[in-house]
């Protein structure tokens, strides 16, 4: 760990997820249950309370043993930190690692060092196969809550739970409210967003329109424009039947930032852009809750993306893909203390043009999945056991390498039924005392080699087996807040891992995968205080982990994964002012992504990104704020060739009408 990292720990103290909301009620018998999260109004003293574990109201709730491995970013957190995108909003949760670069997938978000594939996404319980290309533009202002299962043991949320899952809960309204927010800052960055919502006896709705622009780094081909549109409508068709429909639209254009040395020369000189670029996501949900101990949710979802690619000196190209799916989940109370849940999912993803590194090679993948789980409440002890079955049918898929470019000499995959994939999950929570709870979860699951990955033999990697363990303890500290300690372990067998070598195809360097074993283990410490009488509140988290993998000579450290991830901050309220400091530390790691063939790995990470914000609350509906990011002007990169821009300054204004 670096000296800056140690200083950071001293400054921030101990740890908790990215929230300044008040802490959990130490007197609540249900304080050990998973979220939703209810908080007091910002600035008021009190406790955050977790509601009783309700599997009828929230049927996608994961194992009770995963509570200390679950983070919640709620509306108060998003508004207090003025997060633009959902990736920004998750920046300070334990183990969060965002790799930022100038390619089409601008930001890749992962947790606890688990990648390939990266963390999966859902909107209101509907699973999407493709999401990484829009997550860094999807406005956080349109969500009430972001639930992040940091463990790779998510089961109920979908077939992608083996690398962690993010469930985005759209914003809903209980009363009439209109909010206007604007921001201006470095690189001629301009952001504006207006939201409006109302609620009646049987309905509520919300609409939103936002705009983002930045010139980006000077002379680096980094201009971006994006319009965010949002709409959600919910209506009670009867006493036991509710319909909701949510829509997101992204419309804009973007230049792909030029790389800097030591990245390959091609990325330093290639002037790429997408103009225009469109994305549309919609989820319709029908919820039946007759009040007889059973509840059913039926979901239909669609996502479409179209990117018109342009490169100076080359012909234009089109990247288009879309997906649609249907799913259901049913919760049934078999007895007062025993609940059975089961569900099924179908998803079809198509790309008639191919996209990213396999542009020009069509793709068509269908996913079939089913899940069943049984939960039993024995009073202080809650238990859960579940099983998921998944199978993929690849009707067609062109050559793809997730680290490089199109593999032109690779034969496309056609009419390939993948092996059946299984997952088993067993977890429990135990209320040891009124203020101390224990958590444990053990799981095993399988992951198919991602389409387009190639081994040194030119084949697609086989099926991976993962064994996962989470153990946690949480204590509510009277008059202070809440603290937790979580240990985790992941063992991967026959995993598709980078070999550290590349092959040349034309002028491109192509990374090659191999089938090896890997293990990742560590601890997470989290602390969050309530708001003290002097106006001070703070949070922080430390994730310390080791990652090893097999090489030709045996087991060795995987230097491509950082060993420490820290996040934290403090809030101080004085009269009408709130002073906020926040920090992020990522220890040193390295990799060869985007480097010329034969180059040694580039050193990355090893930074402390400090930020500060001052907010003046003129009244409860009017706020002005100024914000600085990377105030120490630390020079660092999370991906070789794409360093941060230095210190960034912003000023903003919020006005609410009620």
| C-alpha of 151 from chain center | 12
- What are the tens digits of pLDDT across the range 342-386? 999 999 999 998 887 667 778 899 999 999 999 999 999 999 999
pLDDT band at 410 (very low <50, low <70, confident <90, very high): low
Secondary structure percentages of the chain, helix, strand, coil, to 5 = 5, 55, 35
pLDDT band at 499 (very low <50, low <70, confident <90, very high): low
Local structure of 537: helix, strand or coil = strand
Q: What is the pLDDT of residue 7?
A: 37
pLDDT band at 456 (very low <50, low <70, confident <90, very high): low
What are the tokens at 68?
């200390």
pLDDT band at 551 (very low <50, low <70, confident <90, very high): confident
pLDDT band at 452 (very low <50, low <70, confident <90, very high): low
Q: What is the pLDDT of residue 5?
A: 42
Strands 241-256 and 272-288, bridge-based pairing: antiparallel
Q: What is the pLDDT of residue 399?
A: 58
- Rounded to 5 degrees, what are φ and ψ at 126? -95, 125
pLDDT at 553 over 90: no
Q: What is the pLDDT of residue 357?
A: 66
Closest CA to 195 of 242, 140, 135, 151: 140
What are the tokens at 22?
């008040």
pLDDT at 402 over 90: no
Whether residue 252 contacts residue 224, with contact meaning beta carbons closer than 8 Å, is answered with: yes
- What are the tens digits of pLDDT across the range 504-541? 544 445 567 777 899 999 999 999 999 999 999 999 99
- Topology of domain 3-657, per CATH? Maltoporin; Chain A (2.40.170)
Q: What is the pLDDT of residue 411?
A: 63
Contacts of 3 (CB under 8 A, 6+ apart): none
**pLDDT-above-90 percentage for the chain:** 70
Q: What is the pLDDT of residue 192?
A: 96
Q: What is the pLDDT of residue 609?
A: 95
Instruction: For residues 186-198, give the mean pLDDT.
Output: 96
- What are the tens digits of pLDDT across the range 16-44? 333 444 333 433 333 333 333 333 333 33
Instruction: For residues 41-55, give the mean pLDDT.
Output: 49
What are the tokens at 62?
């994961």
Q: Chain-wide mean pLDDT for the chain?
A: 86
Whether residue 323 contacts residue 352, with contact meaning beta carbons closer than 8 Å, is answered with: no
Q: What is the pLDDT of residue 391?
A: 95
Q: Give me the residue spans of the domains in the chain.
A: 3-657
87/166 Cα distance (integer angstroms): 10
Name which of 305-314, 473-482, 501-510, 533-542 the model is least confident about: 501-510
Q: What is the pLDDT of residue 28?
A: 38
- What are the tens digits of pLDDT across the range 608-626? 999 999 999 999 899 999 9
Write 2-10 long-range contacts (CB < 8 A, 24+).
2/587, 2/588, 2/606, 4/585, 4/606, 4/607, 4/608, 5/564, 5/566, 5/585, 5/587, 5/608, 7/608, 8/566, 8/568, 8/583, 8/585, 8/608, 9/542, 9/566
């Amino acid at each position: 760990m670096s000296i800056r990292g140690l200083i950071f720990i001293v400054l921030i103290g101990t740890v908790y997820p990215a929230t300044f909301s008040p802490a959990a009620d130490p007197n609540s018998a249900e304080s050990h249950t998973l979220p939703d999260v209810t908080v007091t109004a910002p600035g008021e003293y009190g406790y955050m309370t977790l509601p009783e574990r309700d599997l009828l109201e929230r049927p996608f709730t994961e194992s009770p043993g995963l509570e200390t491995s679950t983070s919640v970013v709620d509306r108060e957190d998003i508004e207090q930190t003025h997060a633009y995108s959902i990736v920004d909003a998750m920046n300070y949760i334990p183990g969060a690692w965002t790799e930022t670069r100038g390619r089409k997938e601008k930001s890749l978000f992962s947790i606890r060092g688990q990648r390939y594939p990266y963390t999966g996404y859902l909107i209101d319980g509907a699973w999407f196969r493709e999401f990484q290309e829009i997550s860094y533009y999807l406005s956080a202002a349109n969500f009430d809550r972001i639930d992040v299962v940091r463990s790779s043991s998510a089961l109920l949320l979908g077939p992608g739970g083996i690398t962690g899952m993010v469930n985005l809960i759209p914003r809903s309204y209980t009363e009439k409210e209109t909010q206007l927010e604007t921001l201006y800052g470095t690189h001629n960055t301009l952001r504006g967003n207006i939201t409006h919502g109302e609620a009646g006896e049987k309905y509520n709705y919300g609409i939103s329109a936002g705009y983002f622009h930045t010139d980006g780094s000077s002379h680096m081909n980094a201009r971006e424009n994006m319009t965010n549109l949002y709409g959600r409508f919910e209506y009670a068709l009867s006493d036991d039947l509710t319909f909701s429909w949510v829509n997101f639209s992204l419309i804009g254009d973007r230049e792909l930032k030029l790389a800097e040395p030591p990245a390959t020369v091609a990325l330093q000189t290639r002037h790429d852009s997408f103009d225009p670029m469109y994305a549309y996501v919609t989820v319709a949900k029908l919820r039946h809750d007759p009040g007889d101990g059973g509840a059913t949710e039926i979901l239909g979802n669609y996502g479409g993306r179209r990117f018109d690619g342009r490169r100076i000196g080359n012909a234009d190209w089109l990247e288009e893909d879309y997906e649609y799916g249907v799913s259901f989940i049913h919760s049934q109370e078999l007895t007062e203390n025993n609940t059975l849940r089961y569900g099924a999912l179908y998803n079809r993803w198509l790309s008639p043009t191919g996209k990213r590194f396999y542009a020009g090679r069509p793709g068509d993948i269908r996913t079939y999945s089913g899940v069943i789980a049984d939960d039993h409440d024995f009073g202080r002890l809650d238990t859960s056991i579940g099983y998921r079955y998944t199978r993929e049918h690849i009707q067609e898929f062109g050559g793809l390498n997730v680290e490089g470019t199109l593999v032109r000499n690779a034969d496309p995959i056609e009419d390939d039924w993948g092996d059946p994939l299984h997952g088993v999950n067993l977890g429990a929570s135990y209320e040891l005392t009124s203020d101390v709870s224990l958590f444990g979860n053990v799981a095993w699951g399988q992951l198919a080699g991602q389409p387009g990955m190639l081994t040194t033999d030119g084949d697609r990697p086989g099926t991976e087996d993962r064994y996962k363990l989470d153990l946690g303890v949480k204590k509510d500290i009277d008059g202070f807040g809440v603290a937790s300690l979580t240990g985790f372990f992941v063992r991967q067998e026959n995993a598709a891992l980078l070999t550290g070598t590349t092959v040349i195809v034309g002028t491109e360097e192509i990374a090659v995968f191999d089938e090896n074993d890997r293990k990742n283990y560590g601890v997470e410490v989290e602390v969050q205080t309530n708001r003290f009488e002097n106006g001070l509140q703070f949070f922080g988290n430390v994730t310390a982990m080791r990652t090893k993998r097999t090489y030709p000579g045996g087991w060795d450290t995987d230097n491509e994964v950082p060993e420490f991830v820290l996040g934290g901050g403090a809030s101080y309220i004085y009269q009408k002012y709130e002073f906020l400091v926040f920090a992020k530390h990522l220890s040193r790691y390295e990799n060869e992504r985007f480097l010329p063939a034969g180059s040694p790995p580039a050193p990355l990470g090893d930074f402390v990104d400090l930020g500060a914000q001052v907010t003046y609350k003129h009244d409860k509906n009017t706020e002005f704020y100024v914000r600085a990011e990377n105030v120490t002007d630390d020079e660092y990169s999370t991906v070789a060739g794409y360093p941060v821009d230095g210190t960034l300054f912003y000023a903003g204004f919020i006005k609410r009408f009620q």
